[in-house]
Amino acid sequence: MNTAIITNPTQKAKSRLRDDFSRWMKMKGKSDNTIRDYINDVLAFVLFSGQRDPRNLGGAEVKAFLTHLAADKNVSWKTQSQNLCALVLFYDHFLQQPLGDIGEFVRAMKPPKLPVVFSAGELQRMIDALSGRSKIIGMIQGGASGRIKETICLRVKDVDFERGTIHFIDFTKGKDRYVPMPECLRSPLHHHLASLKARFDADGGWLVSLPDAYGLKNKGAERDWIWQYIFAARDLTPDPKDGRLKRWHIFEKTQQDAVRKALAMCGIWKKASTHTFRHTYATLLLEAGYSIYDLQKLLGHSRIETTMIYNHVASPVERRIPSPLDFPANNRHPIITISPLQTSRIEFQNA
């Protein structure tokens, strides 16, 4: 049994239960984003249920909440599924109060949207419009499939110039993968690292946060150059765990703002974001004829169905079939006119 369960149904006890759930997910290796989203999903469920103690709720209330999300909130199937996963994790695994079969509930039918992608020309214009480290991040995302979180968290050790690979770590699932490094990235990335190394040496080294318990086993690693973030923040920031000043990576918002400005500079009026670079990487490779199974591996998808969505973008019907207005004049089909007598005969035959 989970010894962290609180029996006093007060607001203070609920707050402590939330903190216990957060720590438990952290111990299970969940990413910070997943922890934040799951905490918010459970809180939304508690608010929907009249702020009752969640330990006194069960499958019936969960069923009503999921139906509410689809019928009243009109959420997508992905959002409804995430809420269900959060509640199953909370009840079945954390509280050890299995929900069991909650029965049928209204399923969200809002389909997933097709990803927004750049053309090859737009991708190059966007990269040209970016500068400094933002340009390198864009090249890694658009040329090596990096998610924004994976990219800004890259460390010096994750780049192998000899083998020409970049090592990505998916913080959501804890999986990692190697992806070919774009040749055009070698020179700018090499100069960026040389400049960063000069700052590192001039300051006498920086402390850096290390994953999991690696720092406990290797005391000197927190000052090691290979563990430094490639896209290091400008200032040192206290570590909330021990209060010591450390050099962290830049915020995701820093790159998001840079991409937003580049879109305006390029005159690209699409609802694009940092993730559009990754979508474009996948789409352009499919259009070039590469296997979708190879693409699945490069993107780090667990299921081939996730990768298959790019088939709808790489060769859409609206790009393969021209409009009749664009047919050459001599190839247009003649307009067929039917006399009233022919019309009556057709209606008689079809009667």
Residues 214 and 321 both lie in one domain: yes
Helix/strand/coil percent split, the chain, to 5: 55, 5, 35
The reply to whether 4 falls in a domain is no
CB within 8 A of 262, min separation 6: which ones? 126, 129, 130, 134, 138
Q: Which residue do the tokens 């090499």 mark?
A: 190
Q: What is the CATH number for 284?
A: 1.10.443.10
Tens-place pLDDT, residues 248-292: 999 999 999 999 999 999 999 999 999 999 999 999 999 998 999
- Nearest CA among 76, 117, 110 for reference residue 310: 117
The DSSP element (H or E) to which 316 belongs, if any, is none
- Say whether pLDDT at 60 is over 70: yes
CB 193 within 8 A of CB 229: no
The answer to the question of residue 206 being in a domain is yes
Same domain? 177 vs 281: yes
231 plus 87 within the same structural domain: no
Residues 86 and 117 in one domain: no
**Residue 9 pLDDT > 50, yes or no?**
no
Model confidence at 242: pLDDT above 60: yes
Q: Which domain holds residue 227?
A: 113-330
In a domain, 336, yes or no: no
Q: What radius of gyration, in Å, describes the C-alpha atoms of the chain? A: 27
State the total domains in the chain.
2
Identify each DSSP E strand in the chain by its residue range: 159-160, 165-170, 175-180, 237-238, 245-246
- What CA–CA distance (Å, rounded) separates 323 from 333? 13
Q: Cβ(106)–Cβ(83) under 8 Å?
A: no
Say which DSSP state 228 is in: S
Regarding whether 214 and 67 lie in a shared domain, the answer is no
Taking alpha carbons only, the member of 71, 148, 61 closest to residue 107 is: 71
CATH number, domain at 83? 1.10.150.130
Residue 104 lies in a domain: no
Q: Are 221 and 314 found together in one domain?
A: yes
| Domain assignment of residue 300, yes or no | yes
Condensed to tens digits (0 to 9), the pLDDT of residues 129-140 reads 999 999 999 999
In this predicted model, what pLDDT tens digit does every residue of 71-110 receive, in sequence order?
Answer: 898 888 889 999 999 999 999 999 999 998 888 888 887 6
Q: Note whether 139 and 127 are within 8 A (CB).
A: yes
- Could you tell me if residue 99 is inside a domain? no
323 belongs to a structural domain? yes
Residue 273 lies in a domain: yes
193 and 62 part of one domain? no
Domain boundary among 94, 129, 146: 94
Looking at the structure, tell me whether residues 305 and 234 fall in a common domain.
yes
Question: Residue 351 — pLDDT band, cuts 50, 70, 90?
Answer: very low
Provide the Cα torsion 96, 102, 106, 111; round to 10°.
Answer: 50
Same domain membership, residue 145 and residue 253: yes
DSSP 188: H
Q: Which of 122, 141, 121 is nearest to 277 (CA)?
A: 141
Q: State whether 208 and 122 are in the same domain.
A: yes
